[in-house]
Amino acid sequence: MFQLHKRKLYAGIGLLAILIIGVSATTQDKPKPNLKVLPKNIDHEALSKIMKEFNVSLGVKCNFCHAQSKTDPKKLDFGSDEKDEKNIARSMMKMTSKINKKYFNFNKEGEGNAPAVTCITCHNGKAHPESKVTLPPPPPER
Protein backbone atom coordinates (compact mmCIF):
# COMPACT_ATOMS: atom_id res chain seq x y z
CA MET A 1 0.00 0.00 0.00
CA PHE A 2 2.67 2.44 1.10
CA GLN A 3 4.88 1.36 -1.79
CA LEU A 4 2.11 2.12 -4.25
CA HIS A 5 1.60 5.61 -2.82
CA LYS A 6 5.28 6.30 -2.96
CA ARG A 7 5.43 5.28 -6.60
CA LYS A 8 2.49 7.55 -7.41
CA LEU A 9 4.20 10.37 -5.56
CA TYR A 10 7.44 9.94 -7.52
CA ALA A 11 5.50 9.77 -10.77
CA GLY A 12 3.69 12.96 -9.77
CA ILE A 13 6.93 14.79 -8.96
CA GLY A 14 8.43 13.61 -12.24
CA LEU A 15 5.48 14.89 -14.21
CA LEU A 16 5.56 18.23 -12.41
CA ALA A 17 9.27 18.65 -13.15
CA ILE A 18 8.70 17.96 -16.85
CA LEU A 19 5.85 20.47 -16.83
CA ILE A 20 7.93 23.18 -15.13
CA ILE A 21 10.89 22.66 -17.45
CA GLY A 22 8.54 22.69 -20.45
CA VAL A 23 6.81 25.90 -19.41
CA SER A 24 10.01 27.77 -18.59
CA ALA A 25 11.55 26.66 -21.88
CA THR A 26 8.63 28.08 -23.84
CA THR A 27 8.19 31.33 -21.91
CA GLN A 28 11.68 32.32 -20.80
CA ASP A 29 14.17 31.77 -23.55
CA LYS A 30 11.85 31.83 -26.53
CA PRO A 31 13.74 33.88 -29.10
CA LYS A 32 11.91 36.94 -30.43
CA PRO A 33 12.31 36.63 -34.20
CA ASN A 34 10.96 40.11 -34.85
CA LEU A 35 13.53 42.04 -32.87
CA LYS A 36 15.58 44.13 -35.29
CA VAL A 37 17.32 46.49 -32.89
CA LEU A 38 17.41 44.67 -29.54
CA PRO A 39 19.23 41.32 -29.26
CA LYS A 40 16.93 38.46 -30.35
CA ASN A 41 17.76 36.40 -27.27
CA ILE A 42 17.01 39.21 -24.77
CA ASP A 43 15.41 37.82 -21.60
CA HIS A 44 11.80 38.57 -20.77
CA GLU A 45 12.59 40.76 -17.76
CA ALA A 46 15.00 43.03 -19.65
CA LEU A 47 12.62 43.43 -22.59
CA SER A 48 9.72 44.15 -20.27
CA LYS A 49 11.71 46.84 -18.45
CA ILE A 50 12.61 48.61 -21.72
CA MET A 51 8.98 48.52 -22.88
CA LYS A 52 7.71 49.95 -19.58
CA GLU A 53 10.30 52.71 -19.87
CA PHE A 54 8.95 53.55 -23.34
CA ASN A 55 5.44 53.87 -21.88
CA VAL A 56 6.57 56.27 -19.16
CA SER A 57 8.97 58.27 -21.37
CA LEU A 58 6.29 58.95 -23.98
CA GLY A 59 3.26 59.01 -21.67
CA VAL A 60 1.55 56.25 -23.66
CA LYS A 61 0.34 52.66 -23.28
CA CYS A 62 1.65 49.56 -25.07
CA ASN A 63 -1.02 49.94 -27.80
CA PHE A 64 0.55 53.22 -28.93
CA CYS A 65 3.19 51.17 -30.78
CA HIS A 66 1.72 47.66 -30.81
CA ALA A 67 -1.18 46.62 -33.08
CA GLN A 68 -4.27 44.75 -31.93
CA SER A 69 -4.26 40.98 -32.40
CA LYS A 70 -6.27 39.81 -35.42
CA THR A 71 -7.44 36.67 -33.62
CA ASP A 72 -8.20 38.13 -30.18
CA PRO A 73 -9.11 41.86 -30.24
CA LYS A 74 -8.58 42.05 -26.48
CA LYS A 75 -4.89 41.28 -26.95
CA LEU A 76 -1.97 42.99 -28.66
CA ASP A 77 0.13 41.28 -31.32
CA PHE A 78 3.56 42.33 -30.06
CA GLY A 79 5.42 40.76 -33.00
CA SER A 80 3.39 42.67 -35.60
CA ASP A 81 4.97 45.66 -37.37
CA GLU A 82 1.67 47.07 -38.55
CA LYS A 83 1.80 50.32 -36.60
CA ASP A 84 4.07 53.08 -37.93
CA GLU A 85 4.81 54.14 -34.36
CA LYS A 86 6.67 50.87 -33.79
CA ASN A 87 8.96 51.46 -36.75
CA ILE A 88 9.47 55.09 -35.75
CA ALA A 89 10.40 53.81 -32.29
CA ARG A 90 13.01 51.50 -33.87
CA SER A 91 14.68 54.41 -35.64
CA MET A 92 14.45 56.46 -32.42
CA MET A 93 16.28 53.63 -30.60
CA LYS A 94 19.06 53.68 -33.20
CA MET A 95 19.25 57.47 -33.13
CA THR A 96 19.43 57.54 -29.33
CA SER A 97 22.22 54.98 -29.20
CA LYS A 98 24.14 56.85 -31.93
CA ILE A 99 23.85 60.15 -30.02
CA ASN A 100 25.27 58.48 -26.91
CA LYS A 101 28.11 56.78 -28.75
CA LYS A 102 29.08 59.70 -30.94
CA TYR A 103 28.57 62.68 -28.64
CA PHE A 104 28.79 61.27 -25.12
CA ASN A 105 31.41 58.54 -25.52
CA PHE A 106 28.96 56.05 -24.11
CA ASN A 107 30.52 52.62 -24.00
CA LYS A 108 27.86 49.89 -24.00
CA GLU A 109 30.10 47.36 -22.29
CA GLY A 110 30.89 49.55 -19.29
CA GLU A 111 29.26 48.51 -16.01
CA GLY A 112 27.20 51.24 -14.40
CA ASN A 113 27.81 53.44 -17.41
CA ALA A 114 24.34 54.90 -17.98
CA PRO A 115 23.57 56.53 -21.34
CA ALA A 116 23.44 60.33 -21.15
CA VAL A 117 20.47 60.60 -23.49
CA THR A 118 17.40 58.34 -23.32
CA CYS A 119 13.85 58.59 -24.66
CA ILE A 120 12.71 60.66 -21.68
CA THR A 121 15.41 63.30 -22.26
CA CYS A 122 13.50 64.58 -25.28
CA HIS A 123 10.02 63.16 -24.79
CA ASN A 124 9.59 64.08 -21.12
CA GLY A 125 6.35 62.11 -20.87
CA LYS A 126 4.92 63.24 -24.23
CA ALA A 127 4.55 61.42 -27.55
CA HIS A 128 5.47 64.63 -29.37
CA PRO A 129 8.34 66.54 -27.79
CA GLU A 130 8.21 70.35 -27.75
CA SER A 131 10.02 71.99 -30.64
CA LYS A 132 8.93 75.59 -30.22
CA VAL A 133 9.89 77.88 -27.39
CA THR A 134 7.15 80.02 -25.94
CA LEU A 135 8.85 83.06 -24.47
CA PRO A 136 7.37 84.55 -21.33
CA PRO A 137 5.65 87.91 -21.85
CA PRO A 138 7.99 90.89 -21.30
CA PRO A 139 7.68 92.54 -17.88
CA PRO A 140 5.28 95.55 -17.81
CA GLU A 141 7.04 98.91 -18.44
CA ARG A 142 7.32 101.33 -15.58
* 15 lines the binding site for ligand HEC (CB under 6 A): no
Binds ligand HEC (CB under 6 A): choice among 2, 41, 119, 126: 119
Least Cα distance to 100 among 119, 121, 120, 115 occurs for 115
* 67 lines the binding site for ligand HEC (CB under 6 A): no
Interface with ligand HEC: number of residues (CB under 6 A): 35
Give me Rg for the CA atoms of the chain: 24
Given CA atoms 93, 117, 49, 53 in this order, what sign does their dihedral have? negative
For the window 88-117, what string marks contact with ligand HEC as x by the rule CB under 6 A? xxx-xx--x--------------------x
Residue with Cβ nearer ligand HEC (10 or 104): 104
* 31 lines the binding site for ligand HEC (CB under 6 A): no
CB of 140 to ligand HEC, least distance (A): 35
Residue with Cβ nearer ligand HEC (7 or 91): 91
CB of 135 to ligand HEC, least distance (A): 20
Least Cα distance to 93 among 44, 138, 33, 35 occurs for 35
CA distance to 16, 74, 100, 103, 138, per residue, from 113 (Å): 42, 39, 11, 15, 43
Q: Would you say 57 and 120 are in contact if contact means Cβ atoms under 8 Å apart?
A: yes
